[in-house]
Amino acid sequence: MRALGGEPLLSVPVRRGVLSARTIVRPLLDDALAAAHGRGTDRRALAGELGRGSQDRRDEAAGYAAGDRGHDRSTEERHVPDGCQAYSHQRYAHAKQFKRAGKALRKLKTYLGRTVRDIERQIAGDEQLDAIFKWSLYQAKTVIAQRQRQRGRKIYSLHADEVECIGKGKAHKPYEFGVKVSVATTLNRSKGGQFALHATALPGNPYDGHTLATVIPDMEKMLGNELSRILADAGYRGHNAPERHKLRVFTSGQKRRLTPPIKRQMRRRSAVEPVIGHLKSEHRMDRNYLAGEQGDAVNAVLAAAGYNFSLLLRWFRQLLCLLAALLLTFQSRPMPQQPA
């Protein structure tokens, strides 16, 4: 975070009075989701793996010369041009024709299984080819074996296997594919706007409340101050905050230990939601184009930094307009006449 400019970005607004030092000790916490560049479902992974197992790709990896290709007994490429079986599964499921959708998915798995076995048969005994196809065959077998409601990690995207399926619990968008991101902002709006104090990627789809053990110390280290109160949504119930912060975390719907000032502050808890919306819609947190888990972490930090820079630029723009208005007012005043 230091290398990316997180600490200077927060220290400068505090020194200039744009961001109050009192506001950063009472953050608002929530989790967003940074959608990955690669997202999908089982059928898309099946279709993608089948396309990757084509004869042209095999010849290219094996270094075959033209006219010296191995014999391919399968005809999956002819049967599945451009993933049409995956498309038919999607159309059948959308029309609630689930028997036909299941048939299309089973046929797609059959094609992929035949392709895998054919590749294994042709590269048997060749260590060089075995090393080339080891990862692709592992992905293909994992996709074939995984089930819809299985526990644990699944492959949703072949070129971004770190993508996770995260349940949103909303009717219009029950699931999203990507990685969780923890976002914290100030309790009260500063002169420069509602700044994002902290943003970090949380791979592994952890429970929201179990992220505070690492998020709170990281936030205090970056801010250089101790947090006096943390307000979070109901997803943080049963948290594992550090011992000295156990009684400083307040969640939505909590009844105990709520004084009138804390109740008033809890009405500001939803102020973090517009910040997440701006991060997603305007600063590329909605779709991450950086590769791997490292790319997920960097994208979250850069999105928050870009959002804070936009607030600073807007504040400087308003200051410049004010100075220009004062200058015009001064120039428009009539000059005092010299005495005769």
Per-residue pLDDT reduced to its tens digit, 158-211: 888 888 888 887 888 888 888 889 998 888 888 888 888 889 998 888 888 898
212-232: pLDDT as tens digits = 888 898 888 888 888 888 888
Could you tell me the pLDDT band of residue 86, with boundaries at 50, 70 and 90?
Answer: low
Give the residue extent of every domain in the chain. Answer: 6-38+162-317, 42-145
- pLDDT at res. 1: 37
Residue 170: both structure tokens together: 């909303």
Q: Inform me whether the pLDDT recorded for 286 exceeds 50.
A: yes
Helix 42-52, helix 98-122: angle, nearest 10: 30
3-state secondary structure 148-176: CCCCCCCCCCCCCCCCEEEECCCCCCCEE
Residue 75 has pLDDT above 70, yes or no: no
Tell me the average pLDDT across 220-245: 86
The DSSP code for 210 is G
Reported as a single tens digit per residue, the pLDDT across 132-152 is 999 999 999 998 898 888 888
CA distance 255 to 251: 9
> Residues 240-253: what's their mean pLDDT?
87
Question: Mind listing the pLDDT tens digit for each residue in 250-277?
Answer: 888 888 888 899 889 888 888 888 998 8
The arithmetic mean of pLDDT across residues 8-21, rounded, is 58
For residue 241, the model assigns a pLDDT of: 87
Distance CA 90, CA 40 (A): 12
Q: From residue 207, how far is each of 68, 184, 228, 325 by CA, in Å? A: 54, 17, 23, 52
Confidence of residue 114 (pLDDT cuts 50, 70, 90): very high
Radius of gyration of the chain (CA): 28
> What's the pLDDT score for residue 55?
47
What number of helices (H) and strands (E) belong to the chain? 11, 7
- Mean per-residue pLDDT of the chain: 79
Would the pLDDT of 47 be above 70?
Answer: no
C-alpha 267 chain-centroid distance: 27
**Given 3-state DSSP classes, what are the helix, strand and coil percentages for the chain, each rounded to the nearest 5?**
55, 15, 35
**Which two structure tokens, joined as six digits, stand for 119?**
């590749």
Exposed, middle or buried: residue 263 (CB in 10 Å: 0-12, 13-18, 19+)? exposed
Say what the pLDDT of residue 68 is. Answer: 46
Rounded to an integer, what distance in angstroms lies between the CA atom of residue 40 and that of residue 37? 10
